[in-house]
Amino acid sequence: MSQLSRRAFLQGSSLAAVGLGLGAPASALAASTPATAPASGPVLLNFNECPHGPCDAARAAVRTIVDQGGRYLFGLRGELVAEVSRLHELPADHIAVYAGSSDPLDRAALAFTGPGRSVVIPDPTFEAVADTAAAHGATVHRVPLRADGSHDVQAMAAADPAAGLVYACNPNNPTGSVTARTDLEWLLANKPAGSVLLVDEAYIEYSGQASMLEHVRAGADLVVLRTFSKLYGMAGLRLGLALGRPDLLARLAAFGGNPLPVTALAAGLASLREPGLVERRRAENAAIREQTIAWLQARGHACLPSQANCFMVDVGGDGKAFTRAMAERGVLVGRSWPVWPSRVRVTVGTAAEMARFREVFAQVVGDAG
């Protein structure tokens, strides 16, 4: 770790500062991270984006629909709902469409938590629901993950009998680890009375894990979130779903709404209708991820098992310093979490991007292997 320790207090180049968002305005950060990194530009492994972007059919749909961008085209939302209804065997009134899944995530925090109604989350996980809940007076209970990265559902159920919302992310972000559906079903059956279980399935297409949608169909106190931002490569287009009983979805909708971008709706429809897309991207991602994890583990850097397009690696030192050092060399990786300061999240990129990641990783940690 000699090279990393020597760099520990260096602030690095402007690339490092912008890549980490250190002292840089949001506009500068956005300008520094194009959707597809050019060969001479930074390798972007920091935001769990899909390196391929939208599939060809989705891109064609966007090009076709953009000429009608002066119209609201409200019928497109209904067409997307009908397609989701068909694919998942859900009634249309159990499906709500949003500009990404972060919107309904925040709405769930507003609808189901508040003073005296806490939120229970695993730790570490995607923190947006906790941040929104805390901002309007809710207590946040953080329950450490199990050693294998799965949710400790027994501890989550027991965290607060007055909880209003219990959040599960499966596969989890930042770890990519999965929690068995039997455990999530146990949590659904044993959560605090009157609470809602919110299951974030943003990465489920990468895993092949069984969804909790069966319990949405059964009318449980459950909302499932899906997004097109990850495997479908539409992070910048913004399209997501909230799936639940109509009365639960009505509580999310109470905070207002807006027409959705017609480009996103058209791309989403084309993506859902593209044969074999999920299977192809899942297999490619898994092969590259496992190759990279095996390389890291062979050099003594532990990684949690992952079934997503990201993983956590123990860098053997200060995770923040490691991230800065990588950025100085043109590879932008994710961050570490307070509970795990030596572990850093890495997004799975293309084969070429991960080869560059391994090269720079070896340089930063002083491993020439």
Cis peptide, bond prior to residue 305, ω within 30 of zero: no
Query: What are the CA-CA distances from residue 136 to residues 111, 197, 364 (Å)?
Result: 11, 19, 42
Residue type at 138 in one-letter notation: A
**What does the alpha-carbon distance between residue 264 and residue 143 come to, in Å, rounded to a whole number?**
35
pTM: 0.89
Residue 324 CA to residue 17 CA, distance in Å, equals 8
Beta strand 119-123 pairing with 165-169: parallel
Which domains, and CATH codes, for the chain? 2-53+277-365 (3.90.1150.10), 56-272 (3.40.640.10)
Whole-number Å distance between alpha carbons of 289 and 308 = 9
Mean pLDDT of 110-133: 98
The whole-number pLDDT of residue 9 equals 25
Q: What is the mean pLDDT of residues 288-293?
A: 98
Dump pLDDT digits (tens) for 60-107.
999 999 999 999 999 999 999 999 999 999 999 999 999 999 999 999
Please tell me the number of Cα atoms within 13 Å of 302 on its side-chain side.
10
